[in-house]
Chain A
Amino acid sequence: MEKTIITVVGKDAVGIIAKVCTYLAENGINILDISQTIVQGYFNMMMIVDTGAMDKPFGDLCDEMAALGGKTGVVIKCQKEEIFDKMHRI
Chain B
Amino acid sequence: MINLFEVTETNKMISEENLDVRTITLGVSLLDCIDSDLEKLNEKIYHKIYHAAKDLVKTGEEISREYGIPIVNKRISVTPIALVGGAACGRPEDFVTVARTLDRAAKDVGVNFIGGYSALVSKGMTEADRNLICSIPMALSSTERVCSSVNLGSTKTGINMDGVKLMGEIIKETAEQTRDQDSLGCAKLVVFCNAPDDNPFMAGAFHGVTEADKVINVGVSGPGVVKTALESVRGENFEVLCETIKKTAFKVTRVGQLVAQEASARLKVPFGIVDLSLAPTPAIGDSVADILCEMGLEYAGAPGTTAALALLNDQVKKGGVMASSYVGGLSGAFIPVSEDQGMINAVQAGALTLEKLEAMTCVCSVGLDMIAVPGDTKASSISGIIADEMAIGMVNQKTTAVRIIPVIGKGVGETVEFGGLLGYAPIMPVNRFSCEAFIGRGGRIPAPIHSFKN
| Chain A interface residues (CB < 8 Å from chain B) | 5, 7, 33, 35-37, 44, 46, 48, 58-59, 62, 77-88
A46 with B254: in contact, given A7-B11, A80-B66 (CB under 8 Å)? no
| Cβ–Cβ contact A87 & B11, under 8 A | no
B164 within 8 A of A: no
Chain B: CB-nearest residue to A61 = B66
A46 to B6, CA, bound (A): 10
Chain B: CB-nearest residue to A37 = B4
A87 to B255, CA, bound (A): 7
| Chain B interface residues (CB < 8 Å from chain A) | 1-4, 6-11, 62, 65-69, 251, 254-255, 257-258
A29, chain B: closest CB distance, angstroms: 15
B294, chain A: closest CB distance, angstroms: 22
A33 interface neighbour in B1, B10, B67, B251, Cβ under 8 Å: B1
A78 to B69, CA, bound (A): 11
| 26 residue pairs bridging A and B, Cβ less than 8 Å apart | A7-B11, A35-B3, A35-B4, A36-B4, A44-B4, A46-B3, A48-B1, A58-B65, A58-B66, A59-B62, A59-B66, A77-B11, A82-B258, A83-B10, A83-B68, A83-B69, A83-B255, A84-B7, A84-B10, A86-B255, A86-B257, A86-B258, A87-B6, A87-B10, A87-B255, A88-B2
Q: Given A80-B67, A82-B67, list of 4 further CB < 8 A pairs?
A: A58-B66, A79-B66, A86-B257, A88-B10
B244, chain A: closest CB distance, angstroms: 16
Q: What residues on B are CB-neighbors of A83 within 8 Å?
A: 10, 67-69, 255, 258
| Cβ–Cβ contact A46 & B65, under 8 A | no
A-B residue pairs, 10 tightest by C-beta? A79-B68, A83-B67, A86-B254, A88-B6, A84-B2, A35-B4, A46-B4, A86-B258, A87-B251, A87-B254
Chain B: CB-nearest residue to A63 = B65
Q: What residues on B are CB-neighbors of A37 within 8 Å?
A: 4
